[in-house]
Amino acid sequence: MPITDRDTMTGLAKGLAVIESFSLDHPRQSITEVAAATGLDRATARRCLLTLAHHGYADWDGKFFTLTPRILRLGTACLASMPLPQIVQPALDALSEEIGESTSVSILDGAEIVYVARAAQRRIMSIALMPGSRLPAYCTSMGRVLLAALPEPEMRRILGPHPLPARTPRTLTDPDRIADCIATVRLQGHALIDQEVELGLRSLAVPLLNARGKVVAALNVGTAATAMTVDDLADRFLDRLLSVRDRLRGMIA
């Protein structure tokens, strides 16, 4: 049965838009900034923010709002209800222990990847990655694997027509060049990223498929750039990633 506008709650939709306006780059926002980010008028943004603060989902210092850890209940409930993290976590733990490097699984959400499971050996990024963390898809190995699984028009729509932000001097920002890289990923079945998302980080990713052969997530290993070259990364870990992929295929719905 199709869902129409008459079946939905506009107020809830506005509140969710306000929550989604907070990000790694914008963790602390004023009413005016939230209104601009969401397209809501200032009065509506204010009511949404004050409601979040009243119920403990945000802090307010009189000018700026920040989300509180209580907001994690929403994401934790979602992750807890998803079978994928429960299925892949033991495999991640075993793989990470075997190779001595951090491993992760993520899914695609619009133009971002969302971590759903992770086994960390040591911290190699400036931010602490955990289930629920988000990164841009265009400059991450798991993101490019997931974008490669999309139909070409949808992948192009996500990349957009304009240059994308450069996170490091090595980041590819031209949508056409990124699309060419994604085409290569589609052919070779894996993606290698060399310090595009953060200097000092290299990563290798492969798709995770369900029993019907559909790409549902991505699996990666990340390592310090000082530890090995890009070629060494593939030589040492690609077969292990593919082995885990093959073992999980029959388990993922």
Q: What is the mean pLDDT of residues 149-158?
A: 96
Nearest to 218 by CA among 144, 135, 119: 144
Q: Which domains does the chain have, with CATH numbers?
A: 5-72 (1.10.10.10), 82-249 (3.30.450.40)
- Residue 242 pLDDT level (bands cut at 50, 70, 90): very high
Residue 209: strand, helix, or coil = strand
pLDDT at 78 over 80: no
Summarised one tens digit per residue, pLDDT across range 120-135 is: 876 555 567 888 889 9
Whether the predicted pLDDT of 26 surpasses 90: no
pLDDT of residue 82: 67
CA 70 vs CA 7, 53, 114, 213, 247: distances in Å: 28, 11, 19, 37, 36
Which of 35-39, 56-60, 72-76, 145-149 has the least mean pLDDT? 72-76
Angle at 155 between CA 149 and CA 158, to 5 degrees: 135
Give the residue-averaged pLDDT of 226-241: 92
Q: Are strands 64-67 and 215-224 parallel, antiparallel or unpaired?
A: unpaired
HEC profile of 87-132: HHHHHHHHHHHHHCCEEEEEEEECCEEEEEEEECCCCCCCCCCCCC
Could you give the CA distance from residue 134 to residue 108 in angstroms, rounded to a whole number?
10
Strand 102-109 versus strand 215-224 pairing type: antiparallel
- Compute the average pLDDT of residues 48-74: 91
pTM of the complete model: 0.74
Mean pLDDT of the chain: 91
CA–CA separation, 90 and 85 (whole Å): 9
Q: What is the pLDDT of residue 175?
A: 97
Give me the mean pLDDT over the 188-209 stretch.
96
Query: Which has more pLDDT, 224 or 179?
Result: 179
User: What region does 119 belong to: left with phi over 0, alpha with psi -120 to 50, or beta?
Assistant: beta
Q: Cα separation of 92 and 220, whole Å? A: 10
- Both tokens of 74, joined, read 């929403």
The alpha carbon of 57 is separated from its chain's Cα centroid by a whole number of angstroms, namely 22
Find the mean pLDDT for residues 200-224. 94
CA-wise closest residue to 245 among 200, 210, 212: 210
